[in-house]
A and B are shown apart, each in its own frame.
Chain A
Amino acid sequence: MALSAVTKSVSKFTYNTFFKRESVYFSTVVVGAVAFSIYFNSAVDNWWDNRNKGKQWKDIKDKYVKPAEE
């Protein structure tokens, strides 16, 4: 009983906040897509770099880049 009340209020809140007005809905989709792609890409990239640590160019390039002359 309590749980269904919670779900109901959550979906009501979601509907009223994000879905009710077309302008808000559209902005939610766009902002959500951008935020998700940033989060998802950085999460996978971090995992990937961690898994291949020491092998990629960015891990070894410090040995070869000459310090910039000033």
Chain B
Amino acid sequence: MLELEKVTRLFGGLTALNNVNLIVPANKIVGLIGPNGAGKTTLINNISGLDHPTSGQIRLNGAEIQNAPPHRITRAGIARTYQNIRLFSDMTVLENLLIGQHGRGQATFLDSLVFTPRFRAEERDLHERAAQLLERFNLTHAANLRAGNLPYGDQRRLEMARALATNPKLVLLDEPTAGMNPIETQQLGEQIIRLQEDGLTALVIEHDMSLIHQVCDEVYVLNFGQILAHGTPDEIKRDPVVIEAYLGKDEDHGAA
């Protein structure tokens, strides 16, 4: 579904991404792990259009998207969440979900001005879909609260609900469980598995290896902007190259 071919991103002299080749097959959950500063978020920013690669190609179902603006990419079916929560915090939970559906809407401001049937039907449709998402993520009670006032775990879930509101085929989750306790992490894992059951595809950045085990079909390891390893979660866990990247070299083999 998503293919990255030789994606390179330079920031001045710094190579944030170096010839990254990565494939996310349809209806699979792919994990992306790596130490801090490895370029994971840069990768997601490049896929979602907030940043563009210096060279290389990103293809969604065969169509090149590496130079498309973010709203086009969203409308083409890629949604994302953020490592640091970026909700519209002054708005209500419901409004956040309505904005998430922006790309699906057709009604213009003029429709709203004179209450055309299209406007009314669409607003009803948007509210219904928002209500479904609220229920799915256990947020119905909070629909009219200010998003910024929600407890942390609820904000994380709302962000995921808002990503789903864009009606995506592929969801990019940037550390969805950061700051969550083990029980919340487990529950969020179930939500991710549910995405797969609904026919969606996901690329998950994560540090929590138990979550990777719980949800991922395959895993890519990124270090210093390069793909270090690729395999099933079990293979990755045993891979000596990955262990070295995370824990450093064994003293006996260490070159001084």
Asked if A and B are interacting partners, one says no
Q: Which residues of B contact A (CB under 8 A)?
A: none
A residues bordering B, Cβ < 8 Å? none
